[in-house]
Structure 1
């Protein structure tokens, strides 16, 4: 199915009526984008933290084939060896974390267990490395560890034929990223951030607690940036799907971002009963909200968001498109601000001289230019 067919089908979703963009605009008058008299130099470009993960991923991929022989003492070192007694999921998880942290990533790298389960007879672990996550498999006896998996019924096409454009390539028309999702800020803001996120994802919560708040105060409240939130619930987060639906149901009553904030501030409590409690605390019509949530009104809407994200190159959360430029991970404010400033045009400007600053004056929201030549 083509991307256009997906979107055509999205307008025929069960129990889903098309909603126009709904904006929660901060109370302010629109201000001109280019304000030389208030020019702020772009923040210094920082080395992306994802570089740490890129190094770690490459290191793990190569090192696993060799170092795990020594750390896990694999069972196939002897042709006649039999599988030993299985270990518990908890023991396998702890062993895997210890090996990765102590032997496979640079010293000081944050390594933690995000999720664990048994899948197809092996242990499936989601390991967090700095702001990224990696899927790891451990054999039931705790002796072998593998990264990633390949579906043998549907192997990937590595020939390059029909391959989509690189995720690093910006999307020429950022509007294609928009659906009918909620807008935070001025709809006419010159910079659009489309965020694909998961309410249960710890890194999404980290971004919310840190960079998100500063983006609101520095750019959204100033009318320079609008944020469009789209859902990308990860399958191993059991409460993420319903949490996303809860935000959509709250949006029916004009409180999408109120619920959005409530969910990120209570990531450890996202059961259906919790979601209904939050609706009551937010003053929603609980009968309408509960009916919306229980009926699964927005189940397909949420899944279509995730499908769109994958089609655009999203592979994990959080992920952001800043005017079509993809950024991934719980990035620090300065790194996102750098791209915002470039999109606003500030990043390419030199600071104004005192004489140039004196040539401008802001009057009732309008920029008035004075001729320097007398």
Structure 2
């Protein structure tokens, strides 16, 4: 008998979005509640109004390549106001400094931001998000349902928990 397929939650996020920073607490609660049964996948949806969001998404992909995606995402979102205020090359410097602070290879991070090796991944996420109806961040996709938290996150975690609990129960029967 094969192992059951884990539950999946796609978290459509933008790393210059203050609401995404707040949403991380809900994501952490869901991870704790469901443990290894739940795979939370970060999906990028950089918004045009945030000038450093696409660059930050690329940096997050480099952090993923270096095995530190979630730690990096959390560290960037903690400094979302600083990123928003950064002018010109200061945004790239901030993203590289965050990587350095986490013990990532900062030189490789800087090179990734220069050579654009993760642009296609970020663009693919953005295109897929637009195709399925993502309009803002944070947005969650779970069991084929899209839950938009970009205007109000009230009750979203509870809705997601209910969907995941039902899915987990179905898998175990």
- With structure 2 as the length reference, what TM-score do the two structures score? 0.83
Which residue pairs with 1:238 in the alignment? 51
Counting matched residue pairs gives 158
Match of 2:125 among 305, 310, 313: 305
Distance 2:154 2:167 in 1: 17
Q: 1:331 Cα deviation (Å)?
A: 4.6
TM superposition shift of 1:335:
2.2
Which protein has greater RCO, CA pairs closer than 8 Å, 6+ apart? 2
Secondary structure of 2:40's partner?
strand
Correspondence 1:1-374 to 2 at 5 A: 188-189=5-6, 191-208=7-24, 210-219=25-34, 221=35, 223-270=36-83, 271-329=91-149, 330-332=153-155, 333-345=157-169
Q: Which is higher, the Rg of structure 1 or of structure 2?
A: 1
What secondary structure, in the 3-state scheme, does the structure 2 residue paired with 1:284 have?
coil
How many angstroms apart in 2 are the aligned matches of 1:326 and 1:340? Answer: 13
Secondary structure, in 3 states, of the residue corresponding to 1:268? Answer: helix
Does structure 2 retain, via aligned residues, the 8 Å contact 1:279–1:286?
yes
Unaligned runs of 5+ in 2: 84-90
Q: 1:269 is paired with a residue of what secondary structure?
A: helix
8 A Cα contact 2:11 2:40, kept in partner: yes
Determine if contact 1:193/1:226 at 8 Å carries over to the other structure.
Answer: yes
- The answer on whether the counterparts of 2:61 and 2:118 sit within 8 Å (CA) in structure 1 is yes
Instruction: Give the ranges of 4+ consecutive aligned residues of structure 1 lying more than 4 Å apart after TM superposition.
Output: none
- Relative to 1, partners in 2 of residues 1:303 and 1:331: Cα closer, same or farther, differing over 3 Å? farther
Q: Is the 8 A contact 2:17 2:77 kept in 1?
A: no
On the 8 A contact 1:211/1:331 being kept in 2, the answer is no
Residues 143 and 163, structure 2, Cα contact 8 Å, conserved in 1: no
* Equivalent residues of 1:321, 1:327 under 8 A apart: yes
- Contact 2:18–2:77, Cα closer than 8 Å, also in 1: no
Find the counterpart in structure 2 of residue 159 from structure 1.
none
CA RMSD across the alignment: 1.9
SS of structure 2 residue aligned to 1:345: helix
| Equivalent-residue separation in structure 2 for 1:194 and 1:226 (angstroms) | 8
- Residue by residue, what CA displacement relative to the aligned partner does 1:92-129 show, whole Å, maximum 9, x if unpaired? xxxxxxxxxxxxxxxxxxxxxxxxxxxxxxxxxxxxxx
Q: 1:241 to 1:322 in 2, by over 3 A?
A: same
* Runs of 5+ unmatched residues, structure 1: 1-31, 34-187, 350-374
Find the aligned partners of 2:65 and 2:29 in 1 and give their Cα distance.
Answer: 27
SS in 2 for 1:310: helix
Displacement, 1:256? Answer: 1.5
C-alpha contact 2:21 2:74 (8 A) present in aligned 1:
no
Separation in 2, partners of 1:263, 1:305: 19
Displacement after TM superposition at 1:300 (Å): 2.7
